[in-house]
């Protein structure tokens, strides 16, 4: 999925589960794409581009192992923000798992690859983005 779809899905999830920390949920939703040199997060934070050289896209940073490590790290230094950031991270994995490329949740330890039928950046993703925006709009009514 693309940047805006990740943010929109994270916003929808965060507004129901932890609305007071919605910004942190949005930030967390961008973390897995530090493995992509062309991602918005890497364009904004050049220091994170090192991950794009260390890991393949939708590899380790899109696994639960990276999520566990993120949880442990954040919980030790920012415990009050951990849930929101990890929730955003998890929302990223969930929405990427419905794309044709999918993700391997257990990479590199084992293979548990989940994929769907949505092509990134194509009509299916655009439809999902529109539906997410409608869902957010309805929730404010």
Question: What is the span of the domain harbouring residue 60?
Answer: 3-139
The secondary element (H helix, E strand) that includes residue 101 is none
CA nearest 9: which of 141, 134, 121? 134
Alpha helices in 40-122 (DSSP H): 40-44, 50-54, 64-77, 82-96
Name the domain count of the chain: 1
Specify the residue for token string 């983005």. 129
Of 57-61, 67-71, 130-134, which gets the smallest average pLDDT?
A: 57-61
pLDDT in tens, 12-55: 999 999 999 999 999 999 999 988 888 888 777 776 777 777 77
Report how far residue 79's alpha carbon sits from residue 75's, in angstroms, rounded to the nearest whole number.
4
Nearest-5° Cα angle at 61, 124 to 103: 40
pLDDT in tens, 88-126: 999 999 999 999 999 999 999 999 999 999 999 999 999
């Amino acid at each position: 999925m693309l940047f805006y779809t990740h943010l929109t899905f994270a916003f929808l999830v965060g507004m129901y589960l932890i609305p007071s920390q919605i910004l942190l949920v949005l930030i967390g939703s961008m973390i897995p794409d530090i493995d992509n040199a062309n991602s918005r997060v890497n364009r904004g934070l050049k220091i994170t581009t090192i991950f794009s050289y260390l890991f393949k896209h939708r590899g380790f940073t899109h696994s639960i192992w990276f999520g566990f490590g993120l949880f442990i790290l954040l919980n030790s230094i920012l415990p009050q923000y951990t849930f929101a950031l990890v929730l955003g991270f998890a929302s990223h994995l969930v929405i990427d798992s419905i794309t044709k490329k999918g993700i391997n949740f257990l990479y590199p330890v084992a293979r548990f690859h989940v994929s769907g039928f949505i092509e990134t950046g194509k009509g299916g993703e655009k439809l999902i983005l529109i539906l997410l925006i409608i869902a957010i709009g309805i929730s404010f009514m």
